[in-house]
Amino acid sequence: MSTFAYEVFSEVAKQKTFLAAASQLNVTPSAISHSITNLEKELGFSLFIRNRTGVKLTQDGEKILPVIQDILNAEAKLAEEAARINGLNQGRIRIGAFSSVCINWLPDIIRSFKKNFPQIELLVTQGNFNAVAEQVRIGTIDIGFSALPIKEKLEVIPLHRDPIYCVTPESFKPQAGEIVTADDIEGRNFILQQIDYDRDTKRALDTYQVSLNSIHYSIDDASIIAMVESGLGLGILPELALQKLSGNVNYYPFKEHFYRTICLVTHSEAKQTPSTKAFVKAIQDYLASRYGEKW
């Protein structure tokens, strides 16, 4: 089997339609269909379930997707190693990150990295913590910014402890002055993203015995700020998310200290390309310079 068949399979799994995959690979939809059919015949089982809107992976297809992605990643690593031996700085790094990292960290990290490695292509995909870790697991991205804990069996590098704050309307004043206590929170509604409730935000709300009936969800950090500003409740957001958000709100630390641990997820070092390893170092150097932290 050629690696082209694997590329087709990977792209169809990502795009979920033959037409979109054909557009990405610059081939015809019939070439995509023909390649998938031949691959299914050689493997001996179906890879996709076809429907009116597109395709979805079968259970067997889901099982082999990480295996095929490993093969494609190994091919890329081979090409990059050959380029390195020949004295060239070539390669491609696929990066996944959640919104506040995309906004506050990545522009500076990428700018610095590009000065030293201008020929290396960088592709950035935005997603939530779980989606990023899953994409690293199956191999569709090389490096992902997520938050502990990580369930997937990946290499995890802790990067930064990001303090969590209570976001309030401007009219709100904590009874203790500059910190929020249980008395300030009692009877209040809270607004947060659904994905956050399973992590460190839940720990903060559980500490103060905030009931599920008092929790309402918003789609993103900016929407939380807008809803808090309108007096619909209090928010909980980490420091990094607050840095480039604007609104008529204040934010205060809790009496107890809460934080999320931002981490980097990658495959094992043995599977990393030279460019990936260089980018990991660039991330660590940037954070050491910005925060003085070194894990």
51: domain CATH number is 1.10.10.10
Report the alpha-carbon distance of residue 279 to residue 114 in Å, rounded.
10
Strand, coil or helix: what is 286?
helix
Domain termination site, one of 32, 65, 98:
65
Q: Say which amino acid occupies 156.
A: V
Domain count, the chain: 2
Q: What is the DSSP string of 57-122?
A: E-HHHHHHHHHHHHHHHHHHHHHHHHHHHTT----EEEEEE-HHHHHHTHHHHHHHHHHH-TTSEE
- Can you tell me the mean pLDDT for 134-147? 93
Q: Which class for 33: exposed (0-12), middle (13-18), buried (19 or more C-beta within 10 A)? A: middle
Give the pairing type, strands 249-253 and 155-169. Answer: antiparallel
Q: 267 lies in a domain? A: no
Q: Is residue 46 a part of any domain in this protein?
A: yes
275, 155 contact by CB (below 8 A): no
270 in a structural domain = no
In the listed set 65, 82, 102, which residue is the last one of a domain according to the structure?
Answer: 65
Q: Residue 114: pLDDT band by 50, 70, 90 thresholds? A: very high
Could you tell me the CATH number of the domain that includes residue 218?
Answer: 3.40.190.10
Higher pLDDT, 113 or 91: 113
Q: Is residue 218 part of a domain?
A: yes
Within-domain flag for 60: yes
Has residue 104 been placed in a domain?
Answer: no
Range with the largest mean pLDDT of 23-32, 75-84, 225-234, 264-273: 225-234
pLDDT band, residue 234 (cuts 50/70/90): very high
> What stretch of H or E contains 270?
none
CB-based contact 225:112 (threshold 8 Å)? no
Tell me if 198 is assigned to some domain: yes
Confirm if 187 and 151 have CB atoms less than 8 A apart.
Answer: no
What pLDDT is stored for residue 211 in this prediction?
Answer: 87
User: Could you tell me the residue range of the domain that residue 42 belongs to?
Assistant: 1-65
Query: Which phi and psi (to 5°) does residue 118 adopt?
Result: -65, -20
pLDDT at residue 225 is higher than 80 = yes
Q: What is the pLDDT of residues 142-201, one digit of tens each?
A: 999 999 999 888 999 999 999 999 999 999 999 988 999 999 999 899 998 887 766 778
In a domain, 112, yes or no: no
CB 69 within 8 Å of CB 10: yes
